[in-house]
Amino acid sequence: MPLTLHHMFRYLDASDDSLLQKDNDYNRLIKKLSNFSDCLSSEDKELLLKMINEVYYKYQKSILTNSDSDTELMLSTLMALVTKQTLEIERLRK
């Protein structure tokens, strides 16, 4: 069975992001991603936001360590996504 994004990530419940919605850095990240995410299908957009919710929640300290600029925030979040994806792939291979 081929791996899909649905298999690679376990998500936070979309209704469980109330704390994230109050986080200024999280909101800055979502705003910066809006140009990209607005061009996705609703299913893909939901998937992307769930992935970001999960990694931001789990790796928030690492993401925010050097995230004064928008570029640093985006790169840190991307690295968190790649790390999480790699861990999930390794878990599924076992």
The string of pLDDT tens digits covering residues 49-87 is 999 999 998 999 999 998 889 999 999 999 999 999 999
- How far, in Å, are 17, 26, 37, 38, 77 from residue 32 at the CA level? 18, 10, 9, 11, 12
Is pLDDT of 90 > 70? yes
- The average pLDDT across 22-47 equals 91
The sign of the dihedral angle between the CA atoms of 58, 93, 5, 69 is positive
What does the alpha-carbon distance between residue 44 and residue 91 come to, in Å, rounded to a whole number? Answer: 23
Domain segments of the chain: what residues?
Answer: 5-93
The pair of structure tokens assigned to 44 is: 């893909």
